Amino acid sequence: MNSALKKDENILVHRKDNYLLQMENYHEVFFLGNKFQSDFESGVFLFGFSSLGHDMGQKRTILGLACYFDYNSLGRVAIVSDSFDNDIFSQVNSYSSRRSIDFLGNVSVLVNRFGENLDLVKISHLPDFKQLRKGELIQSLKLHYDIVFCDLPSWDTLKNQSHNYLSLVMSLESLSVIVAPSVTKNDDIEMASKFFSNYGINFSGFIIDKHKS
């Protein structure tokens, strides 16, 4: 996937009192979106994304998919991430509004809503994933969203801090890893593939981003 979002820093456009995400390379977004829509229609709900040294490509991919699902009115979308303050998500976050949702029936969680169907949810705002079972996590998220995209740390972080993230990764129904020819080594791809396979993670494969960071 080449750059789904526009390459300039301003990714928002104001139209009729609403801020919309503006995109380029629509055919690439729809090609990738169709694949994820097929998985979604087959019952996959919780998608995760990591990368091998290409964090910006990872976030472009997630935002591109969120746009695709919103454009096609496929339901309520959430992006779950460590932070929305200092990256490509920051503009979307700055034009969102705060709201709260009930998580697991007894925990109030603050989220940022952009538009009508997209919520930005910080991992730190959710209950401790280590204390959750997979069924509890999915069941609670499904009360509020039709599809969830998890913006995970890079593979190196997942590997070196597996005690912090493994329970979350194991809850995923699909995990995709973004790679780029300019920054990703073949040895890293092989090691990452073995790592996810050894843990029995639902690894869907690699997405190639040819856009230079």
Total Cβ atoms within 10 A of residue 195: 15
> Does some domain include residue 4?
no
CATH code where residue 56 lies: 3.40.50.300
pTM of the model: 0.83
Q: Is the pLDDT of residue 184 over 90?
A: no
What pLDDT does residue 148 have?
95
Residues facing residue 80 across a β-bridge: 121, 150
Q: What is the mean pLDDT of the chain?
A: 79
**Each residue's pLDDT tens digit, 7-25:** 444 444 444 444 444 445 5
> Does some domain include residue 7?
no
> Does some domain include residue 75?
yes
> Does some domain include residue 196?
yes
> Does some domain include residue 213?
no
- Looking at the 3D structure of the chain, how many domains does it have? 1
Q: Is the pLDDT of residue 104 over 90?
A: no
Nearest to residue 48, comparing CAs of 136, 160, 143, 134? 134
Output the six-digit token pair for 147. Answer: 């599809």
Domain interval for residue 155: 12-208
55 within 8 A of 158, measured Cβ to Cβ: no
Residue carrying the six token digits 């990452």: 192
> Does some domain include residue 58?
yes
The residue-averaged pLDDT of 181-204 equals 83
> Does some domain include residue 120?
yes
> Does some domain include residue 1?
no
What pLDDT does residue 135 have?
62
Q: CA 210 → CA 30, 34, 63, 184, distances in Å?
A: 17, 19, 17, 11
What pLDDT does residue 76 have?
94
Mean pLDDT lowest among 71-80, 109-118, 132-141, 183-192: 132-141
The Cα–Cα gap between 170 and 185 comes to 25
What pLDDT does residue 6 have?
45
